[in-house]
Amino acid sequence: SYVVTQPPSVSTAPGETANITCGGDNIEFKAVHWYQQRPGQAPVVVISYTSDRPSGIPERVSGSSSGNTATLTISGVEAGDEADYFCQVWDPDADLPRVVFGGGTTLTVL
C-alpha cells in the first residue's frame, strides 16, 4: 500500500518560512491534502488538492508538489501556527481503497 512520510518536527523563528514535506512515490501525480491540528481540537483542512487554499486560510499558507515530495509552506510564521500538520492522499490501488495519512509534523515557533 501507498506510504507517505513526514519529518516528525520542524522549527521556525517568527516571521520566517516553514516548509513541511510529505514524501511518497510519484506523489506529484496524487492529490495531496494538508490538515492542521491544534491540541484539543479537530483537524482543519489548510490545503486541498495539493495547492488549493480553502476560504478562511491566509494567503501565506501554500502547497506545492514535485516528483516524490509535496510541500506545505507557511510564510511569515506566527505563534498561532504552532500545531501538528498532516498530509493525506487517497490510495485507490490497495486491496481496499483507503485514506493514507502521513505520520504528522509538529511545527514549533521558536
Partner 1 sequence: QVHLVQSGAEVREPGASVKISCKTSGYDFTGHYIHWVRRAPGQGLEWMGRTNPFDNFSYSVGEFQGRLTLTLDTSITTAYMELHRLTFDDTAVYYCARDAPPLIDWGQGTLVTVSP
Query: Which residues form the interface with partner 1 (CB under 8 A)?
Result: 31, 33, 35, 37, 42-45, 48-49, 54, 84, 86, 88, 90, 94, 96, 98-104
Nearer Cβ to partner 1 (44/75): 44
For residue 96, give the C-alpha cell.
481496499
Report the nearest approach of partner 1 to the CB of residue 12 (Å).
20
What are the Cα distances from residue 77, in Å, to 20, 58, 104, 107, 108?
12, 11, 18, 10, 10
Taking the C-alpha atoms of residue 51 and residue 22, their distance in angstroms, rounded to an integer, is 13
In this complex, which beta carbon is closest to partner 1, that of residue 76 or of residue 91?
Answer: 91
User: Terminus-to-terminus CA distance in the chain, angstroms?
Assistant: 36
CB of 25 to partner 1, least distance (A): 19
Kindly state the smallest distance separating residue 74's Cβ from partner 1, in Å.
18
